């Protein structure tokens, strides 16, 4: 059974239509990759799921329609977006950023335990707890964004280009951590990446977007083996 089902999803920037009615679904506990070139509509899809832009069509999360709900309501249902540009609260401290991730969960021992656990996964953040988040490096801010999303205890995590602008070694670390979080905690993930190879390694299923339409879908292994994909996106 799928956690998220999308049918005929259209998205608009002002009057212009950026997604022309796409269908896809995310399997519970799986990692799905959304691939495509610049401007294909990957980020737009994530924004549409979080109601950050105007949409048409149906979005069902855990069997209930979330289309038409406000962003904050969707988030409170357990959908966490790690946005493009990381969305850091630059003037707040690292710790405040992390606590904001769990702000809807109230004050509890569980939140404290989660904070401690995440700081165990990202020791760099522990060293910088009292530091202003805007002073962190790009990689550290990406870790912060992922941790902030995890502080929500999300059921679905949407990741927008987690590799963007980062050194290869940092990217490897971050993807390894994502893999672990998915395996250990069963968080369903939808990951948008320009680096298709990286995304396909992590994902079990993938969709390929081209100018606002889904043109191909299948298990990651099949997609990786597809010659057309290899030529256009994997650079073999």
Residues of the shown chain interacting with another protein in the complex, contacts defined by CB under 8 A: 50, 52, 70-72, 75-76, 80-81, 83, 87-92, 96, 99-101, 103-104, 106-107, 132, 134-138, 141, 148, 152
Nearer to another protein, 3 or 149 (CB): 149
Task: Using only the alpha carbons of the chain, give its radius of gyration.
Answer: 17
* Contact (CB, 8 A) for 17 and 11: yes
Q: How far is the CB of 73 from another protein (least distance, A)?
A: 8
Nearer to another protein, 21 or 164 (CB): 164
Nearer to another protein, 140 or 193 (CB): 140
Q: How far apart are CA 199 and CA 205, in angstroms?
A: 10
Q: How far is the CB of 184 from another protein (least distance, A)?
A: 23
Nearer to another protein, 154 or 206 (CB): 154
Name the maximum alpha-carbon separation found in the chain.
Answer: 52
> Would you call 65 exposed, middle or buried from its count of C-beta atoms within 10 A (0-12, 13-18, 19+)?
exposed
Nearer to another protein, 135 or 211 (CB): 135
Q: How far is the CB of 197 from another protein (least distance, A)?
A: 26
* Contact (CB, 8 A) for 36 and 42: yes
| DSSP β-bridge partners for residue 4 | 26, 61
Nearer to another protein, 122 or 233 (CB): 122
Q: How far is the CB of 211 from another protein (least distance, A)?
A: 26
Q: In what helix (H) or strand (E) does residue 19 lie, and over which residues does it extend? A: strand 16-27
Tell me what percent of the chain is helix, strand and coil, each rounded to the nearest 5.
40, 30, 30
- Name the H helices within the chain: 42-49, 71-76, 94-101, 109-121, 123-127, 138-150, 168-185, 196-202, 220-225, 227-229
Closest CA to 200 of 2, 84, 34, 80: 34
Q: Phi, psi (5° rounding) for residue 129? A: -50, -45
Nearer to another protein, 119 or 133 (CB): 133
């Amino acid at each position: 059974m799928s956690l998220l089902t999308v049918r005929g999803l259209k998205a608009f920037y002002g009057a212009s239509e950026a997604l022309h009615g796409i269908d896809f679904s995310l399997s519970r506990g799986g990692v799905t990759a959304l691939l495509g070139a610049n401007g294909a509509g990957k980020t737009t899809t994530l924004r549409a799921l979080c109601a950050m832009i105007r949409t048409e069509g149906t979005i069902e999360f855990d069997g209930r329609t979330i289309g038409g709900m406000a962003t904050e309501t969707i988030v409170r249902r357990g959908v966490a977006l790690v946005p493009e540009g990381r969305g850091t609260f630059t003037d707040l401290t690292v710790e405040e950023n992390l606590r904001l991730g769990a702000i809807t969960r109230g004050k509890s021992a569980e939140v404290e335990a989660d904070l401690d656990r995440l700081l165990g996964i990202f020791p760099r953040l522990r060293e910088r707890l009292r530091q202003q988040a805007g002073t962190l490096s790009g990689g550290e801010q990406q870790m912060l964004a992922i941790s902030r999303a995890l502080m929500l205890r999300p059921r679905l995590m949407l990741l927008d280009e987690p590799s963007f602008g980062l050194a290869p070694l940092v990217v490897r670390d971050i993807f390894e951590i994502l893999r672990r979080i998915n395996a250990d905690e069963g968080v369903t993930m939808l990951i948008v990446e320009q680096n298709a190879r990286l995304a396909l390694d992590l994902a079990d299923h993938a969709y390929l977007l081209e100018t606002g339409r889904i043109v191909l879908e299948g298990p990651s292994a099949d997609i990786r083996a597809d010659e057309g994909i290899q030529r256009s996106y994997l650079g073999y």
